[in-house]
Amino acid sequence: MKANTVHKLLPFFTMAIMLLPLSVMAQETEEELRKKKKKIEQDIRYTNKLLSETEQNRETTLSRLNLIRNKINNREQLIATISSEVDFLKNQIAKNKRKIKRLNLELEELKEEYAQLIYHAYKTKSKYHKLMFVFSADGFNQAYRRLKYLRQYGDYRKKQARLIQKKKEKLNQTIAELKQDTDQKINLLAQKEQERQKLKSEKKGQGETIVKLKSRENQLRRSLSQKRQQAKELESQIQKIIAAQMKATKPKETGSSPEFRLSPEQVELSDKFTKNRGKLPWPTKRGKISSTFGKHRHEELGVEEFNNGITIRTSKSANAYAVFNGKVTKVISIGNKKAVLIQHGDYFTLYDNLYNTDVTPGDEVSTGDNIGTIKTDNSTGETEVNFQIWKATSNRKPENLNPAGWLLSR
Does residue 173 sit in the same domain as residue 221? no
pLDDT for the residue 129 = 57
Same domain, 392 and 291: yes
- Do 51 and 111 belong together in one domain? yes
314, 381: one domain: yes
C-alpha 20/C-alpha 26 separation (Å) is 10
Cα(380)–Cα(208) distance, integer angstroms: 17
Asked, for residue 10, whether it belongs to a domain, the answer is: no
Give CA angle at 277 (267, 368), nearest 5°.
85
Question: How confident is the model at residue 19, as a pLDDT?
Answer: 42
Q: Where are the beta strands (DSSP E) in 246-378?
A: 251-254, 257-260, 288-291, 294-298, 303-307, 310-314, 319-321, 326-334, 337-344, 347-357, 364-365, 370-374
- Tell me the residue type at 171: L
Q: Distance (Å, rounded) from C-alpha 156 to C-alpha 149?
A: 10
pLDDT at res. 57: 64
Are 220 and 180 within one domain?
Answer: no
Question: 100 and 170 in contact (C-beta within 8 Å)?
Answer: no
Do 304 and 157 reside in the same domain of the chain?
no
Q: Same domain, yes or no, for 77 and 174?
A: yes
Q: Looking at the structure, tell me whether residues 227 and 360 fall in a common domain.
A: yes
Q: Is residue 335, in this structure, part of any structural domain at all?
A: yes
Q: Is residue 313 part of a domain?
A: yes
**Count of domains for the chain:** 2
Same domain, 60 and 200: yes
Is 391 a domain residue? yes
CB count within 10 Å of CB 406 equals 21
In-domain check, residue 43: yes
Q: Are residues 236 and 356 in the same domain?
A: yes
Structural domain that includes position 168: 25-213
The residue length of the chain stands at 410
Question: What are the start-end ranges of the H helices in 261-364?
Answer: 264-275
What phi, psi does 390 have (nearest 5°)?
-125, 150
Of 187, 213, 239, the one marking the end of a domain is 213
Q: Which residues sit opposite 314 in a β-bridge?
A: 383
Q: Are residues 120 and 223 in the same domain?
A: no
Q: Which residues have CB under 8 Å from 272's CB, separation 6+? A: 324, 325
Asked if residue 134 and residue 267 are part of one domain, the reply reads no
What is the spatial distance between Cα 251 and Cα 264, in angstroms, rounded to a whole number?
14
pLDDT of residue 349: 97
Report the distance separating Cα 112 and Cα 106, nearest Å.
Answer: 10
**Final residue of a structural domain among 213, 232, 263:** 213
The pLDDT value recorded for residue 135 is 47
Could you tell me which residues are beta bridge partners of residue 407? Answer: 280
User: Would you say residue 12 lies in a domain?
Assistant: no
Mean pLDDT per 10-residue interval, the chain, length 410 residues? 46 43 50 85 84 71 86 91 88 85 78 66 54 54 56 59 74 83 88 91 88 80 82 88 75 47 84 95 94 84 86 94 96 90 95 95 95 90 94 82 92
